[in-house]
Amino acid sequence: MTDSLVLVTGGSGFIAGHCILQLLDRGYRVRATIRSLAKEGSVREVLARAGMTRGDALEFVAADLTRDDGWADAVAGVDAVLHVASPVLPGKVADEEEIIGPARDGTLRVLRAASDAGVRRVVLTSAFHAVGFGHPHAHDRFTEDDWSPVDGPGVDAYGRSKILSERAAWEFVASEGRGIELVVLLPVAVMGPLMGSEISGSNQLIQRLLTGAIPALPRLSIPIVDVRDVAAAHVAAIDAPEAAGQRILLASGEPAIAMSAIAATLGDHLGEAAAKVPTRRLADFVVRVGALVNAELRTSAAELGLVKHVSIDKARRILGFAPRPSEEAIAAAGRSLVAAGLVS
């Protein structure tokens, strides 16, 4: 469906920016939320540099996940909502409610406003954190039937925010949704071309490897998906008939990639720009001892040696999902970091 109006929340963000580019390219009209309209010029500039077409079909409105103001105007006349915005504070935070509250309550604000306005479908961006972390026993393959335990080992505040906000979304649609269709997309670690100079959570790993901020490689493996494929899945989910009422995992389709393989990929594709990427391995006991005093290492300690397999059968069947290999996402992230001058 083209020329229909789609609302994208968190319009200045990494995934949201790529969603906006693809929506415009496919003929949709787009309305995007940002916290302040004072940022509109800079956001448009970033999108233009990233190859935006049909910029005249893009409008911005001011809305904040922590406030009711603005959301009624944001959803007025909208056919579908891509609710991408969510606070991101990985690791240990002083007050977990600072991230859980805005994520959960913001999701409910968006759903309530969309339901009141008669919006047909909301596509919610959740994360693999709501599926594949904190399990007390090994999983051979994760599917959409899996839910991360809220208090499982290695589940941080960000993970809890994703679990609790998604559960709240399903509960709202069941009890108050008035027929609104909910689709939840669950991407694994999202990497790929930057949107401006802001570095998303997973691309930060690539930057830290390239700058030598990670001096040695722990025995960790990470499932990866390219941001361009994540955006394409969001666009497909707007109209895919079978997507309504579904959780859908998004990944490259390969097993999780070892940190050593990520480092090697950067070396293969970036040459001298990858000179600081570490090659030596970090012993497991060092990570485990560090986790006793460093809360940020606890998630890593819980993940040591795990190689997660993530099913994308549903994404392929319902959304026509055809992802790039992980290597392409890693290399694209590295090249864009170097091009943006963010690797010294």
Task: Return the amino acid letter for 257.
Answer: I
Write the pLDDT tens digit of every residue in 273-325.
999 999 999 998 898 998 888 777 887 888 888 899 999 999 999 999 999 99
> How far from 147 is each of 124, 247, 249, CA to CA, in Å?
16, 11, 12
What is the tens place of the pLDDT at every residue in 178-205? 899 999 999 999 999 999 888 987 999 9
Is the pLDDT reported for residue 57 higher than 60?
Answer: yes
Domain boundaries, the chain: 5-199+224-255+309-324
Return the half-sphere exposure (C-beta side, CA atoms, 13 A cut-off) of residue 274: 20
Query: In the CATH hierarchy, which fold is given to the domain comprising 5-199+224-255+309-324?
Result: Rossmann fold (3.40.50)
Q: What is the mean pLDDT of residues 250-269?
A: 96
Residue with tokens 């009141």: 116
For β-strands 221-222 and 257-258, DSSP reports them as antiparallel
Instruction: State the DSSP H helix or E strand holding residue 170, giving kind and residue range, or none if neither.
Output: helix 157-176
Per DSSP bridges, beta strands 80-83 and 5-8 are parallel
Give the pLDDT confidence score for residue 210 in this predicted structure.
97
Q: Crossing angle for the helix pair 14-25 and 40-49, nearest 10 degrees?
A: 70
What is the pTM assigned to this prediction? 0.95
